[in-house]
A and B are shown apart, each in its own frame.
Chain A
Amino acid sequence: MSGHSELTTGPLEYRSHEDRMTVLGFWLFLGAEIALFATLFATYAVLFGRTADAPAPQELFEMPMALTMTFLLLTSSFTCGIAIHEMRRGSLKGLLTWLIITLALGLGFLGFEIYEFVHYAHEGATLQSSAYWSSFFVLTGTHGAHVTLGICWAVLLIIQLKKRGLNQMTARKTFVLGLYWHFLDVIWIFLFTSVYLIGMVV
């Protein structure tokens, strides 16, 4: 069949036809994820300003916190890139090290997000308080849930990498995880600008 040939050179994760299909399938999945987040962003935009009796976003959003979260997640995307680079070089140790650093940064981000949510709840802004806050918590919460899932996924992969070492299968899985992680980073950039920056000034 066309392109069914197994390659012997090139990146490990692209050598078999099955792996190439998986990577394409994952890209399409990310396309669907974009549609999903676009819908949530649109909902947020429509419900913007509908805070009812709850506090307005500019009263609660704090630049240092949002910046720290941005810094943590963007750095984690960079370290994830290094991890894939190490994988391409064939260094399992490098890959594992940078993956663990990525995870630590991701966990840091998550910690801040949870703190942020709890803080807002104390100030009287919860999922139930108004349409605006519902859309805020669901939009950022969906992103946070994706990060959580990514962390769990990475932990499973680290176990598999330790057990089986680097081969076509584990390389493909790691590469796909990398795509997912970068995607979450891209979503966060939109969140940071359209939720936090705009929310602070409008």
Chain B
Amino acid sequence: MDFLLNEFLVTGDPLIYGAMVSIVLVSIAIVFVLTYFRKWGYLWREWLTTVDHKKIGIMYIIAAIAMLFRGGVDAMLMRAQLTLPNTEFLNSQHYNEIFTTHGTIMIIFMAMPFLIGLMNFVVPLQIGARDVAFPFLNAVSFWSFAFGAMLFNLSFVIGGSPDAGWTNYAPLAGPNLNPGPNINYYLLGLQISGIGTLATGINFMVTILKMRAPGMKLMRMPIFTWSSLITSFIITFAFPILTVALALMTIDRIFGSQFFTLTGEGMPMMWANLFWLWGHPEVYIVILPAFGIFSEVISTFARKQLFGYKAMVWSMLIIAGLSFLVWVHHFFTMGAGAGVNSVFSVTTMLISVPTGVKIFNWLGTMYKGKIRFDTPMLWSIGFIPCFVLGGVTGVMLAMAAADYQYHNTYFLVAHFHNVLIAGTVFGCFAGLTFWYPKMFGHKMNEKLGKISFWFFVIGFNVCFLPMYFLGFMGMPRRTYSIEPEWMPLNVISTIGAVLMAVGFLVFVYNIYYSFRYSEREKTGDTWDGRALEWATTTPVPFYNFATVPEITGPEAFWKMKQEGGTTYDKENLEPIHMPSDSGVPFIMSAFMFVAGFGLVWEWMFMAIAGLIGILACMVVRSFDYDHGFHVSVEEIKETEEKAREGEK
């Protein structure tokens, strides 16, 4: 009992009691609703065991929006604390925990899953495939992310949240300065979801390289597919580094090794190097798909072919290459010496060249286009100036000598929010509103969409512009209370944050409102689109394409519309092979959760039990020779005739 109240559960803070109560109430509500409407079977059959890339994509996005909410609440708590000097709203420990979970959740459990969700839904449709290369593995990816996120979020009420920043630097995060389960949550939560991300990287590389429609050469691929391919490449080679870094620190903490310790000649700065060797490519993992989304949206709504397609592709490839060569710029102040700092300073500035090329290509695409200002386009146009601001301050930070002045100040905080929110978050919103009709069969409401856009984009600038000046005034990052002279700008910043929160809430309300009142789509081509995902019907049949068209040039669907062409060629229907659903990914990831929870508390019996469960699932999978099933021609005909009724 003593253990339960003093160590296991987090006690003593009214905010957390409130959270506990709401968690319990929401759980009871979910169980009640599922039972009352008899939806348990539906949930299991249609969602928990699915291997359909479209459903997995949607689940990723739902989870990401939930995490955006959680991370956003953290942000609002921080802003509340920093508005006035000497506030006692949060104590320093609680503040440390909140900025740590805010950063970790936003990057790992919001930005990446949001984009991977969009990739999951869109990429197979854009290349004319029936599913991803390894549908079973795709489900493992999703569930390991979901259970990893759950483990991480649990820390908040059970055992205490990690509190060493999302970068989790040693020796602060080591066993001596930070004993207990909190940092373990960080290590295991990221490890479990990281496994899934790595699998996604491999899966999408194979999918894009091997499953394109006949005639779709690499240089004929839609640009979002290109960005996904390059992102997958970065994931595959960057995530193993994170895996190792996390594992080494886990071994340090649980088994007493000396990698990042101050005793036994360990090297704390090794952690910073390993972390950023993964961490910097990670930044591009979350920005490149967003670039792909903006390219698709801008080209569609400017009603022009993307300007400089080849330059776009090469820019992304160069960015991907350079992303592995800049990691030291995160710690110029470590003291690596002028030579080393200069090299990394130059590589960092080099990245701005291909990025600049991309900016001009977007402008070039819009030039002389008949632009339509629908919500996805607004997000994309809003992105350009806001992101450039972040890019320019990035070059300022890249100057090693000057960085000694900006390092760990609010200038840095403003910079990376300017690129990550204007780039990734705007990109996610643009992508979701753009592909929303394809996913759910109706548009998001335009009026509400515009309201949420303006609240968010104005709030965003009001929130983060003052932070540059706060940085110059010497306000350090991760401080839990402010000096009186920083107050005016902090008040403005908090007002901006509130506006952003309103924008987000309107966005979420829009999902509900559109579900109730939006007009249903009658054709598959909502926006007069250009890539193949618009060629199939809405809602998309589970096999995606009844027949896959022959691709003869770039912008496959645009060409099909001009020359005539269909994804339902009645003469050439053949039975379609589809993979079978499986409950193993869900169960296996649940065992990962058990093993992770055991390691967090260093309860070895539980960790071993979980591990045995994971291995058992692998054995079950190995002996499973299920080849999937075939969809008969009659069933395809029936589905297509029904879906295409409205087109006539």
A residues with CB within 8 A of B:
1-3, 17, 20-22, 24-25, 28-29, 31-33, 35-36, 39-40, 43, 46-47, 50-52, 127-135, 137-138, 153, 156-157, 160, 164, 169
Contact = CB atoms under 8 A, between A and B. Distances in A.
Main DSSP-derived SS at the A contact region: helix
B258 A31 contact: no
Nearest to B278: A39
B257 A33 contact: no
Nearest to A141: B251
B205 A127 contact: no
B203 interface: yes
Given A39-B245, A47-B259, A134-B251, A52 B206 contact: no
- Point out which of A1, A3, A40, A47 has the most chain B C-beta atoms below 10 A from its C-beta: A1
B265 A51 contact: yes
B265 A131 contact: yes
Contacts of A24: 206, 209-210
A40 to B, nearest CB: 6
A133 B263 CA distance: 13
A64 to B, nearest CB: 28
Contacts of B259: 43, 47, 131, 134-135, 138
A1 B203 contact: no
Nearest to B202: A28
Contact of B213 (A1, A35, A137, A153): A1
Given A25-B203, A25-B206, A32-B237, A127 B244 contact: no
Interface in B238-295: 238-241, 243-245, 247-248, 251-252, 255-259, 261, 263-267, 270, 274, 277
Given A21-B210, A32-B239, A134-B251, A39 B274 contact: yes
A181 B129 CA distance: 32
Contact of B128 (A1, A20, A22, A40): A1
B202 A29 contact: yes
A128 B257 contact: yes
Given A24-B210, A32-B201, 13 more contacts: A1-B129, A1-B548, A21-B133, A21-B211, A25-B133, A25-B206, A31-B236, A35-B237, A35-B240, A36-B240, A39-B277, A47-B270, A131-B265
Contacts of B241: 35-36, 39
Contacts of A129: 258, 264
A2 B212 contact: yes
A32 B236 contact: yes
Contacts of A46: 267, 270
B211 A1 contact: yes
Interface in B611-626: 619, 622-623, 625
Contacts of B469: none
A28 B133 CA distance: 13
Contacts of B548: 1
A35 to B, nearest CB: 4
27 contacts: A1-B128, A1-B213, A22-B134, A25-B134, A25-B203, A28-B206, A31-B236, A31-B237, A32-B239, A35-B236, A36-B240, A39-B277, A43-B248, A47-B265, A47-B270, A52-B258, A127-B255, A131-B265, A131-B267, A132-B265, A134-B252, A134-B258, A138-B247, A138-B259, A156-B622, A156-B623, A160-B623
A21 B133 CA distance: 7
A175 B212 CA distance: 25
B198 interface: yes
B460 to A, nearest CB: 35
B369 interface: no
A157 B255 CA distance: 33
A138 B203 CA distance: 28
B623 A43 contact: no
A46 to B, nearest CB: 6
B41 interface: no
A61 to B, nearest CB: 19
Closest 10 CB pairs of A and B: A50-B265, A36-B240, A134-B257, A35-B240, A39-B244, A128-B256, A131-B266, A130-B264, A131-B258, A25-B206
Contact of B243 (A36, A130, A160): A36
Nearest to A54: B264
B138 to A, nearest CB: 12
Contact of A131 (B201, B202, B215, B264): B264
B214 interface: yes
B79 to A, nearest CB: 37
Nearest to A53: B264
B212 A52 contact: no
B279 to A, nearest CB: 13
A2 B551 CA distance: 11
**Most chain B CB neighbours (cut-off 10 Å) among A21, A43, A134:** A134
Residue with the highest number of chain B CB atoms closer than 10 Å, among A21, A24, A137, A157 = A21
Given A1-B128, A1-B129, A1-B214, A32 B265 contact: no
B244 to A, nearest CB: 4
Contacts of B201: 32
A3 B210 contact: yes
Contacts of A133: 258
A134 B247 CA distance: 12
Nearest to A137: B257
A160 B209 CA distance: 30
Specify which of A32, A138, A157 lies most central, judged by the most chain B CB atoms within 10 Å of its CB.
A32
A2 B548 CA distance: 10
Contacts of A164: 625
B170 to A, nearest CB: 12
Given A131-B266, A156-B622, A138 B248 contact: yes
Contacts of B214: 1-2
Nearest to B236: A32
Contacts of A153: 622
B622 A160 contact: yes
A132 B266 CA distance: 8
Nearest to B137: A25
Nearest to A173: B622
Contacts of A138: 247-248, 251, 257, 259
A32 B240 contact: yes
Nearest to B129: A1
A47 B622 CA distance: 39
Nearest to B209: A24
A131 B264 CA distance: 6
B236 A130 contact: no
A43 B270 contact: yes
Interface in B195-224: 198, 201-203, 205-206, 209-216
Nearest to B247: A138
Contacts of A2: 212-216
B391 to A, nearest CB: 28
B130 to A, nearest CB: 9
Interface in B22-79: none
Contact of B240 (A1, A33, A52, A130): A33
A119 B245 CA distance: 28
B368 to A, nearest CB: 36
A1 B270 contact: no
Nearest to A130: B264
Contacts of B625: 164, 169
A72 B191 CA distance: 33
A160 B216 CA distance: 38
A161 B248 CA distance: 38
Nearest to A25: B206
B264 A52 contact: yes
